[in-house]
Amino acid sequence: MIETTNKHDGAPQGPRPLAEALEMTRALIQQTLDGVDPALTDIARHLGKSSGKHIRAALLLSAATDARGLIEPDAVTAAAALEILHLATLVHDDVIDDAPTRRGLPSIQSQFGKKTAVISGDYLFCLCFSMIAGMSHQYPEQISLFARAISSLCIGELNQHKHNRDSELSVMGYMRIIAGKTAALFFLALYAGGLLGGADEKQRRLLGRIGFAIGMLFQLADDCLDYESTSDTLKKSVKHDLAEGVITLPLIFAMRQNPALKTIAARSRLSAGEIRDVAEAVVQKGGLSQARTIAERYYHRACKLLDQLDEPVRQMQIRQLLDQIHNRRH
Amino acid sequence: MIETTNKHDGAPQGPRPLAEALEMTRALIQQTLDGVDPALTDIARHLGKSSGKHIRAALLLSAATDARGLIEPDAVTAAAALEILHLATLVHDDVIDDAPTRRGLPSIQSQFGKKTAVISGDYLFCLCFSMIAGMSHQYPEQISLFARAISSLCIGELNQHKHNRDSELSVMGYMRIIAGKTAALFFLALYAGGLLGGADEKQRRLLGRIGFAIGMLFQLADDCLDYESTSDTLKKSVKHDLAEGVITLPLIFAMRQNPALKTIAARSRLSAGEIRDVAEAVVQKGGLSQARTIAERYYHRACKLLDQLDEPVRQMQIRQLLDQIHNRRH
């Protein structure tokens, strides 16, 4: 049985500034993973080791910052739940992609087997819903928001999978895929944060739109980095997207310039050399810079929307995270 | 995005007797599967075709029956959500077991591939939570109940997997596994039904205990049937439990009588002939009849607990379902 709590042993329960709230979120994630059923202890420990940068949690907390610059404990719970949800999707992604590693460590699937990976992912989904359910008396909308974001994510993943090795995938088709598989969760982070931080309906919608733009920027930047960097600089990408049959924007643009690339993109089992050749062609044909231009547009859209936010601390904090994502080069 | 509703086009919204409520539940499941994102349409259609007997929904609705013998629309939503949750676990089970068929049809995994199966299962989990979230204003406990039941289920599955081919698995260990993987959902069905049917706390707990006993009976009967029947009489069991390395109570009892069976049980890749030999030995050594005796105990426990229910219609309806499960011979 799951036992979740948003209380920290000995820690006072009042509202906190961002840095402290983020620290509490990290502690709550760890505490939640530590508190799982003994059957899952090894897996939870493994997941705890490879924990990421918690960018989604930081965004949720920033959006939840009130006029005093403080964040309520409920937002810490929601932020931790969001990161655990993200972890669940990563575990299932590894099953789907048969990925050998994740964040530089062996994936759950390669370490513990497929069965354990599927079930652990399901368990993490439950953990997330349990945490949200613990606060649903006050915020009954949260569950619907989370459920909707996860379903978008599933649909995005399904659509991506459908278009694997589809050399005719359009720019719009690609945008729809990443809107579901990535931006929906960033939308959730900022919208839910706004709800928990007492933002009114109009500001919440605005926050959601900012989140969406940040999510699109985040995914586009990720896809560009995949063509720019080698496995040494980007831990995640020991395997290139293309090796998985995933066609992203830089390649779509490059294929427009050089249709010969389509034949290679449609093939399965590309050699490392072939992938390197495609990556070089994508850079030479301007696919990478075109994709970077689109990413920039989302950055500017997010900036413009941010200007309309009426809460200065919230605004400043989100802007810092946005710039961090924008300047990411590995 | 998920759109769920507990309203039926043109259907009046008042409380209904069991048969009608069950019909509405079937319609709502179908309607929910029909209303999924286009990316999932084929899969939903496939799932709709192989829909089962809805025993869990029937139990929930029976427990939700009030003094007038009527069931509120919210219970129909919960019953449909419970069946969709069950469907989600079946889809993931097929991934875990690499099952070629389910209920006589190709499994989602064999028909649409592993990726689609993992994601579709996740999507169905979301659908379930979305449906429950739609009613959580009035019943905020429901989400926690569902999340807790699913996590029990995951833990049960993980424990079962850990003890695959474990010829030293004890009777207690086995009981713990099936308590999680099966009885927890039956507990949920009756407890949640009681909540929605206005049963007081004491009666709800009693209903939960009845559900647990029925779930244990259901799983034990299933495990016995696996040793009694061939693939012709039990659609589900095209593959025998033992072929999957799953050790159940009849075999545990038989291994106590004939330790030589342990060597075979611990092996992977048993031939059809070897499985037949083990099945015969399990019958001859009395393992099957001993397991049937334990199943009978749960039947009698459920009957005894049922006598303590203070609502006659609810009691009568649950008893009918209990007898149906008890008399199942295929």
A37 Cα to chain B: minimum distance (Å): 7
Residues of A with CB below 8 A from B134's CB?
Answer: 144
* Alpha helix (H) residue ranges in B41-140: 41-49, 55-63, 73-97, 108-112, 114-133
pLDDT for the residue A239 = 54
Per-residue pLDDT averaged across A312-317, rounded?
96
Contact B136 A136 (CB under 8 A): yes
pTM of this prediction? 0.86
What's A74-98 look like in SS3? Answer: HHHHHHHHHHHHHHHHHHHHHHHHC
Quote the CA–CA distance of A44 and A66 in Å, as a whole number. 33
The residues, ordered by sequence, that sit 6+ positions from A217 with a Cβ below 8 Å of its Cβ are A295, A298, A299, A302, A322, A325, A326
| Domains defined for chain B, CATH in brackets | 18-327 (1.10.600.10)
Residue A265, pLDDT above cutoff 50? yes
B114–A95 CB contact, under 8 Å: yes
How do residues B73-132 score in pLDDT, each as one tens digit? 999 999 999 999 999 988 898 888 777 877 778 888 888 888 888 989 999 988 898 888
Task: Give SS3 for B142.
Answer: helix
Find chain B residues with C-beta within 8 A of A166's C-beta. Answer: none
CB contact under 8 A, A147 and B123: no
Confidence at B7, pLDDT banded by 50, 70, 90: very low
Predicted local distance difference test score (pLDDT) of residue A330: 63
What pLDDT digit, counting tens, does each position of B165-211 carry?
899 999 999 999 999 999 999 999 999 999 999 999 999 999 999 99
This complex has an ipTM of 0.83
Average pLDDT over residues B25-33: 93
| Closest CB from A119, A129, A151 relative to B1 | A151
Per-residue pLDDT of A285-303, as tens digits, reads 999 999 999 999 999 999 9
**Residue in B68, B172, B126 with CA at minimum distance from that of residue A132:** B126
Contact B135, B77 (CB under 8 A): yes
Query: At residue B313, does pLDDT exceed 90?
Result: yes
Inspect the interface and report whether the beta carbons of A126 and B144 lie closer than 8 Å: no
Smallest Cα distance from B278 to chain A, Å: 26
